[in-house]
Amino acid sequence: MAASRQKTGLRTQQGGRINRDKPVSFTFDGKTYQGFEGDTLASALLANGQHMVARSFKYHRPRGIVAAGAEDPAAIVQIGPDAVETDPNTRVTEQEIFEGLRASAQNCWPSLSFDIGIANDVFSDFFPAGFYYKTFMGPPLSWMRFEPFIRKAAGLGVAPTDRDPEQYDSTNRHADVLVVGAGPAGLAAAKAAADAGARVILVDETNAIGGALLSEPEGSVSLGSKPADVAIQKMVDELHANPDVTVLTRTTAFGYYGDNFVGLWERVTDHLAPTDRVTHMPRQRVWRVRAKQVILATGALERPMVFDGNDRPGIMLAGAVRTFLNRYGVLCGRMAVIFANNDSAWATAFDLQDAGAQIAAIVDIRRNLSGALLQKAAHRGIPIHAGSAIVGTKGRSHVAAAGIRVLDASGMISSKANWIECDLIANSCGWAPNVALFSQSRGKLFYDDDLKAFRPGASWQQERSVGAANGAYDLQDCLDEGRNAGAAAAADAGFKKRIPRVLKASHTMLVQRDLQIMPQIPSPKAAKKVRAFIDLQDDVTTKDIKIAIQEGLHSVEHIKRYTTTGMGTDQGKIANLNAFAFIADHLGKSVPDVGVTTFRQPYKPVTMGALAGQHVGAHFMPRRTTAMHPWHKAQRDVVFEPVGDWLRPRAFLREGEDFHQAVQRETKAARTGIGVLDASTLGKIDVRGPDAREFLNRIYTNAWSKLAPGKCRYGLMLKEDGMVMDDGVTACLADDHFHMTTTTGGAANVLGHLEDYLQTEWPDLKVYLTTTTEQTAVASICGPGCDRLVADLLDDVDPDPETFKFMDWRDAHIQGIPVRVFRISFTGELSYEINIDASYGLWLWKKIFALADSEGGTYDITPYGTEAMHVLRAEKGFIIVGQDTDGTATPFDLGMNWIVKKSGDFVGRRSLSRSDTSRDDRKQLVGLVTEQPDFVLMEGTQIIGSKDEGAVPVVMLGHVTSSYFSPNLGRSIAMAMVERGQGRAGETLYASRKGEAPMAVRVVGTDFLKERSDGTI
């Protein structure tokens, strides 16, 4: 076993598409290694003889590198310099190395080479598929005792510990033709489409253009008259020169969504050393592409053979071994055994031998091999084992020998074991078109009996699959399919048909031929001792699938879920087809009869940061602010409240005050001095047209036919279900012209609601709507005697309340600037709302405060915030839609019968007379006062009928919707929705309190100021 004891793997003397002039050092598990620019972590580790890089999920078995790309099942590690910029579960076959890269093994303890978790493997007989469903069922909650241990054992990598310092972007593109995959087929397609004048996007998920051609020995293939690498570079240069073409490498098409929307994920800086990263570049970028036509040239994926002991590091896909050799200049082993069921793997043997490796054997399950193939191998002196199979392997953390036996005609074992030492088993069970994106596009697959794989059938979207993705494995076929599809796609996208130039490949490569599938290679061992892995990451063996089937799980989806096959981070890219074939074999069905599991987005895992794009942190959602906001923000200690998208000042704290004290002061000031509120955020809608009145009649619950110009009226809006939706004051500007206001949070909804009715239900009404919310800034000035202040402000209108009456409005000027003044009030106090063009809002605001005594003026002016506004309106018993209502209150429930007109339809009217909405035992809005005047009920407190709560469930009569300490009444006040509340005036009820005796409350009217003057409270 000499070969296996020394470090296997080797960098070749020459060849490969790496930059041997640029050595790069990196660390894996603390040890420093060397690689070259252009290496992936996988190729660099293999060049250093490091095959084992991970442990499997369940049994913690050693895992090596199997594939060379995104399809690798289990070679995943943690990357990153520290605990913050760390990337768990990173595939070594995709991570490019850079100077200083740090990688470490994950899901193992204490180390990769010695992992305690291997105990699971020792007892694996007791942990078959679904074992956890059969145990840990003690008394209730007993799972809670086991779960922490299970959770700790599960999981793979470790999440970052702090906020990601990187930026991510997302961007939108429209393309005539999007080509996914830049191998020969994709490149030919992109070229043909671009030549036709189409806008083309060509993407490849690796760092280079060329696809499978990059896995061929340099100079071995020519396209046209040039070596392939030169021809490709020329085509790429031409594409780059075309302003309508975008070529993206390191970019994965991860999701094919509806209407030809494809998501691309570009890794912009992940391959660069931190010192090489340009600070303003995003780490990654999502391209949201809307393509008229899509061409899928996503290639084919190689299937591994399923045999006993097939999971040891050093057992790799033959195609991957060839890629590592020819693209990266790495020999994956010095002593190789090739195990195949088709011709393609033989090319790996020949290339390996040419690079200096020894080929210990080619084992092929086919009994009748083509003469040419046999001849070529014999000429090279390679031992051939036709009609044979590898039935077992040896080696602990690396494969050391392959056990070979001859198969008889029926596929059974017919010889004694022949153990051959090796440090590499390159195996191939044939190739399957990579149909993930095609299936995501919702096209129909069909099972190709020649390929023994699914390939694209009928397309559903504007899509074409070409090349190996379409089952065409021959190079010339790929070029031709790509070229034709590119031209056809451009034509379908509206460009003039052109006959694209033919590109001739120099020769036919060794492709899959005479494929013979054996879903599981037989083993001489007792069935229970066989460990043939189908899913290498989640440790699913053929035995697990057998158990699932034996237990009656026959749907492929059930088996997947029961065994977790295909549910790892690779999503079973190379495992699934083997699983389907094995299930079919076991159930005695055909593969298409068994079906396939869904190919879900994303094709491979995409960082959540990239998906979130730029819409994070300060850009997550806009904060809308008013014209006066700079003034608010400059106050010494102001607390804001988000209201819808808006930020409104909640209270302006003065030195030494807490929030409560500030609110009390502001509330008091608005009734005793002058309070000023920024009311700019209220929604405003201009309503105009000869039918405007009729429109308002239908939209609001009350009548609008007689409101005279110059007057305002309060209105309540319902939804068709009869529940209160919004409220506000609307002013009549002219007979056919109204100015409507809405709640701050409801503005957009209301406009949508109104436009909906106008355009769809009543298109005959001549009414136009335009939102004017932000055109005006609004200062609401409130308090006894505030008319004097308003008089000082206005140039030309006398605000004397005797002549400028409640619910009137006037046009006026302030220093020549037009304003509109409304005498409306949400506090019950004398109040004027001054509307001014928003660009003068801050000026007006400052002008008002220049009159304050604190600024050397003469008025006692207090700015107040939304919290004081809430208290003030509650003192007067005004509702806030959304606080005192919750979508279940009718106007009657709110005691607002007066606002519902006696006749005439309006939106929601019919719902009010349904049997349950007209019941008298509904919850109705009332005022509540506590027995202890200084006790403020918590909003949300439940109201009950008796002093003793008794046992649960307790009958609840209602709940407190608003509750404050009113400085103007010197006591607490509350509003509540209470069952039959309107008939309970004077009744004592109880407010339930956690851990304390219920507090007695008395039912009163909601207008507390009136209740006080009536002597009720």
Partner 1 sequence: MAQSDPTLKPPQGRPERLSALAHRAPLSGDEGLTMQEAAHLGKLVLRLDESVAGTIVPDALNGVHLPTLPCCSDTSATGTLSVLWLGPDEWMIVSEAGTEQTLQTELELQLKGQHFQLSNVTDYYVCIDITGPQTREILMNLTTLDMHRRSFEAGQVKGSILGHANAFVWQLHTDTGATETFRLIVRSSMADYLWCLISRSARLFGMAEETPLSGERLVI
Partner 2 sequence: MSSKYNVFNLLREGLQGHTGWQAQWREPKLKPAYDAVIIGGGGHGLATAYYLAKNHGMTNIAVLEKGWIGGGNSGRNTTIIRSNYLYDASAAIYNHALDLWTTLGRDLNYNIMMSHRGVLNLAHDEGEARTLKRRVEANRLNGVDSEWLDAKQVKEFCPPISIDVNMRYPVIGATLQRSGGVNRHDAVVWGLARAADSMGVDIIQQCEVTGIRTEAGEVVGLETTKGSIKTPKIASVAAGHSTMIADMVDVRLPIESHPLQALVSEPLKPLIPCVIMSNAVHVYVSQSDKGELVIGAGIDPYVSYTQRGSFDIIEHQMASLMELFPIFSRLRMMRQWGGIVDVSPDASPIISKTKVKGFYINAGWGTGGWKATPGSGHAFADLVAHDRANAIAAPFSLERFVTGDLVAEHGAAAVAH
Partner 3 sequence: MFLIECPWCGERDMSEFHCGGEAHIARPDQSESMTDEEWAQFVFMRKNSKGRYAERWNHAAGCRRWFNLLRNTATDQILAVYRMGETAPSVATDEPVTPSGEAPIGSGNDAVKLMKPGEAL
Determine the residue type at 77.
V
Residue 128 binds to partner 3 (criterion: CB under 8 A): no
Nearest CB to partner 1, comparing residues 323 and 773: 773
Nearest CB to partner 3, comparing residues 698 and 810: 698
Nearest CB to partner 2, comparing residues 326 and 541: 541
Q: What string of DSSP letters covers 497-521?
A: P--PPP--BSS------S----SS-
DSSP code for 614: T
Cα radius of gyration (the chain): 38
974 within 8 A of 962, measured Cβ to Cβ: yes
Nearest CB to partner 3, comparing residues 466 and 852: 466
Nearest CB to partner 2, comparing residues 558 and 876: 558
Q: Site for partner 2 (CB under 8 A): how many residues?
A: 115
Q: Which does 447 bind (CB under 5 to 8 A by kind): partner 1, partner 3, partner 2, none?
A: partner 3
User: What distance in Å separates the CA atoms of residue 405 and residue 134, rounded to the nearest whole number?
Assistant: 38
CA-wise closest residue to 882 among 1010, 726, 690, 674: 726
Least gap, CB of 438 to partner 2 (angstroms)? 15
Cα separation values, 857 from 80, 655, 847, Å: 63, 21, 10
Residue 635 binds to partner 1 (criterion: CB under 8 A): yes
Of these, 81, 219, 356, 690, which contacts partner 1 (CB under 8 A)? Answer: 690
- Which residues in 612-641 contact partner 2 (CB under 8 A)? 612-613, 615-617, 620-621, 623, 641
Nearest CB to partner 2, comparing residues 197 and 609: 609
Residue 815 binds to partner 1 (criterion: CB under 8 A): yes
Of 772-780, 827-835, 911-919, 964-972, the window that binds partner 1 (rule: CB under 8 A) is 772-780
Residue 630 binds to partner 1 (criterion: CB under 8 A): yes
Least gap, CB of 535 to partner 3 (angstroms)? 19
User: What distance in Å separates the CA atoms of residue 788 and residue 830, rounded to the nearest whole number?
Assistant: 11
Residue 837 binds to partner 1 (criterion: CB under 8 A): yes
Q: Which does 460 bind (CB under 5 to 8 A by kind): partner 2, partner 1, partner 3, none?
A: partner 3
Of these, 118, 273, 386, 639, which contacts partner 1 (CB under 8 A)? Answer: 639
Least gap, CB of 253 to partner 2 (angstroms)? 13
Of these, 484, 911, 992, 1016, which contacts partner 3 (CB under 8 A)? Answer: 911
User: What distance in Å separates the CA atoms of residue 625 and residue 638, rounded to the nearest whole number?
Assistant: 14
In this structure, the strands spanning 463-465 and 284-296 are parallel
C-alpha dihedral (440, 444, 449, 455), degrees to nearest 10: -40
Of these, 112, 627, 834, 872, which contacts partner 1 (CB under 8 A)? Answer: 627
Cα separation values, 300 from 37, 512, 548, Å: 27, 11, 29
Look-up of token digits 């990654």: 284
C-alpha dihedral (325, 330, 335, 339), degrees to nearest 10: -40
- Which residues in 194-253 contact partner 2 (CB under 8 A)? none
| Length in residues, the chain | 1017
Dihedral sign for Cα 760, 761, 763, 768, please: negative
- Which residues in 436-495 contact partner 2 (CB under 8 A)? 442
DSSP code for 757: I
Nearest CB to partner 2, comparing residues 102 and 513: 102
- Which residues in 650-689 contact partner 1 (CB under 8 A)? 659, 686, 688-689
Q: Site for partner 1 (CB under 8 A): how many residues?
A: 68
430 within 8 A of 424, measured Cβ to Cβ: no
Least gap, CB of 612 to partner 3 (angstroms)? 16
Q: Which residues contact 389 (CB under 8 A, 6 or more apart)?
A: 305, 307, 339, 363, 365, 404, 405, 407, 518, 521, 522
Look-up of token digits 């399919």: 481
Nearest CB to partner 2, comparing residues 260 and 470: 260
Going residue by residue from 878 to 897, which x/- string records binding to partner 2, judged by CB under 8 A? ----xx--xxx---------
Of these, 222, 397, 414, 439, which contacts partner 3 (CB under 8 A)? Answer: 439
824, burial (CB in 10 Å: exposed 0-12, middle 13-18, buried 19+): buried
Of these, 160, 383, 457, 801, which contacts partner 2 (CB under 8 A)? Answer: 160
Residue 643 binds to partner 1 (criterion: CB under 8 A): no
Q: What is the largest CA-CA distance in the chain?
A: 116
345 within 8 A of 318, measured Cβ to Cβ: yes
Phi, psi of 754 (to 5 degrees): -70, -45
Q: Which does 143 bind (CB under 5 to 8 A by kind): partner 2, partner 1, partner 3, none?
A: partner 2
SS3 labels along 286-335: EEEEEEEEEEECCCEEECCCCCECCCCCCEEEHHHHHHHHHHHCEECCCE
Nearest CB to partner 3, comparing residues 556 and 896: 556
Q: Which does 992 bind (CB under 5 to 8 A by kind): partner 1, partner 3, partner 2, none?
A: partner 2
217, burial (CB in 10 Å: exposed 0-12, middle 13-18, buried 19+): middle
Least gap, CB of 770 to partner 1 (angstroms)? 4
CA-wise closest residue to 533 among 292, 257, 308, 285: 308
C-alpha dihedral (774, 777, 781, 787), degrees to nearest 10: -120
- Which residues in 530-559 contact partner 2 (CB under 8 A)? 543, 547, 550-555, 557-558
Going residue by residue from 70 to 109, which x/- string records binding to partner 2, judged by CB under 8 A? ---------------xxxxx--------------------
Of 163-171, 229-237, 354-362, 547-555, the window that binds partner 1 (rule: CB under 8 A) is 163-171
Phi, psi of 1016 (to 5 degrees): -70, -35
Nearest CB to partner 2, comparing residues 452 and 873: 873
Residue 597 binds to partner 3 (criterion: CB under 8 A): yes
- Which residues in 911-940 contact partner 2 (CB under 8 A)? 911, 914-917, 938-940
Residue 759 binds to partner 3 (criterion: CB under 8 A): yes
Cα separation values, 477 from 178, 465, 773, 884, Å: 20, 13, 63, 71
Of 589-597, 724-732, 846-854, 953-961, the window that binds partner 3 (rule: CB under 8 A) is 589-597
Least gap, CB of 775 to partner 1 (angstroms)? 4
Q: Which does 104 bind (CB under 5 to 8 A by kind): partner 3, partner 1, partner 2, none?
A: none
Nearest CB to partner 1, comparing residues 66 and 769: 769
Residue 623 binds to partner 1 (criterion: CB under 8 A): yes
Residue 421 binds to partner 2 (criterion: CB under 8 A): no
- Which residues in 685-724 contact partner 3 (CB under 8 A)? 720-721
Least gap, CB of 774 to partner 3 (angstroms)? 16
Residue 795 binds to partner 1 (criterion: CB under 8 A): no
Cα separation values, 853 from 663, 729, 780, 849, Å: 20, 32, 19, 8
CA-wise closest residue to 221 among 474, 512, 481, 484: 474
Residue 125 binds to partner 2 (criterion: CB under 8 A): yes
Residues paired with residue 115 on neighbouring β-strands, in sequence order: 110
CA-wise closest residue to 881 among 725, 756, 758, 770: 725
Residue 260 binds to partner 3 (criterion: CB under 8 A): yes
Site residues (vs partner 1, CB under 8 A):
169-174, 199, 280-281, 288, 290, 614-615, 618-619, 621-627, 630-631, 633-642, 645-647, 659, 686, 688-690, 766, 768-776, 814-818, 837-840, 842-843, 846-847, 849-850, 855
Residues that bind partner 3 (CB under 8 A): 257-261, 290, 439, 442-447, 454, 457-458, 460, 557, 592, 595-599, 720-721, 752, 755-756, 759-761, 763, 905, 909-911, 914-915
